[in-house]
Amino acid sequence: MDRTARAFWLLAPGEGEIRPVEVPRPGPDDVEVRTLYSGVSRGTETLVFRGGVPESQFAAMRAPFQDGDFPAPVKYGYLSVGVVEHGPPSLLGRAVFCLYPHQTRYVVPAAAVTPIPDGMPPGRAVLAGTVETAVNVLWDAAPLVGDRIAVIGAGMVGCSVAAVLAQFPGVEVQLVDVDPARAAVADALGVRFAAPEEAVGECDLVVHASATEAGLARSLELLGDEGEVIEMSWYGDRPVRVPLGEAFHSRRLVVRSSQVGAVAPARRGRRSFSDRMSLALRLLANPVFDVLITDERPFEDLPRLMPELTGGELSSLCVRVVYGQQ
């Protein structure tokens, strides 16, 4: 078998290309995966594409199977779905999810892939990494029955959080975004949509995922006394002002970060990374998540697609990348 695959590389900030890469022969504990789909994690990948990872975060921001170093050249990404063509009998022929960059074929340890549940369309599983992030933030946030919750920022992550929260008993969820087109997505997810100026306050919890100063400020305004903002946004090299004056202290408000690089402390002693990913894939059995996949492009289009997403010409939620027979 030809041991050459093709992968998408960032050559320099704002410039990418598809280049050949050598695929190693699998060892006894490895799997070889032929890629069917990958997903573009829009917020993080466009930040990487424009060269916005600060030097202090180079190590923290490495993807599990990243090649190269920030700012470039680097092979980056972590939403890959494929079929196991070599590996243990329990995985052979199975569709699996892996935190791998955009590449047509690859070899990884068998423990690095998670089987996709029977009956789930493999194309939906590109959302697994994003729903895993939603699981982690809700472990951090610990919403209670009947809570009033706002999710600010109707991107991939915010919508995934809203979709999971919609299944909590008695919870009132509003999805807040500046784009009125996101109202249709909120409706499909079964939650209320609001523009920032129309959002209802006195929230017990606000999940902020807009990656904007205005969104963070509005998050604090929407809290009830002693409420909490869970900050999911990562701003990269952009400075951010947080309004901690006026009533912030007297109302005893809280801003707390959440990041998927570690299992949330509330579950860290009892759940592993693989447990968290398996849960995300079980949640994806719900076909409502299909509404988050708004565009589809062939693998060969990645060098053109990434500048479109980074520059704002394309306002998709999740772009699913489709791979031909390799």
So what's the pLDDT on residue 244? 92
137 in the same domain as 111: no
CATH number at 44 reads: 3.90.180.10
303 in the same domain as 205: no
Rounded to an integer, what distance in angstroms lies between the CA atom of residue 64 and that of residue 57? 15
CATH number at 173 reads: 3.40.50.720
So what's the pLDDT on residue 1? 60
pTM of the model: 0.91
Taking Cα atoms as reference points, which of 37, 26, 38, 68 lies closest to residue 51?
A: 68
> Which range marks the domain in which residue 164 is found?
130-257
148 in the same domain as 103: no
251 in the same domain as 138: yes
**pLDDT of the chain along its 326 residues, tens only?**
678 999 999 999 999 999 999 999 999 999 999 999 999 988 889 999 999 999 999 998 999 999 999 999 999 999 999 999 999 999 999 999 999 999 999 999 999 999 999 999 999 999 999 999 999 999 999 999 999 999 999 999 999 999 999 999 999 999 999 999 999 999 999 999 999 999 999 999 999 999 999 999 999 999 999 999 999 998 888 889 999 998 899 999 999 999 888 999 999 999 999 999 999 999 999 999 999 999 999 999 999 999 999 988 887 889 999 998 64
319 Ramachandran zone, left/alpha/beta (phi>0; psi -120 to 50) = beta
Q: How many domains is the chain partitioned into structurally?
A: 2
Tell me which amino acid residue 117 is. P
222 in the same domain as 112: no
So what's the pLDDT on residue 237? 83
151 in the same domain as 88: no
309 in the same domain as 246: no
135 in the same domain as 105: no
Answer whether residue 276 is part of any domain: no
Answer whether residue 66 is part of any domain: yes
Tens of pLDDT, residue by residue over 255-274, are: 999 988 899 999 999 999 99
Answer whether residue 304 is part of any domain: yes
182 in the same domain as 100: no
So what's the pLDDT on residue 261? 87
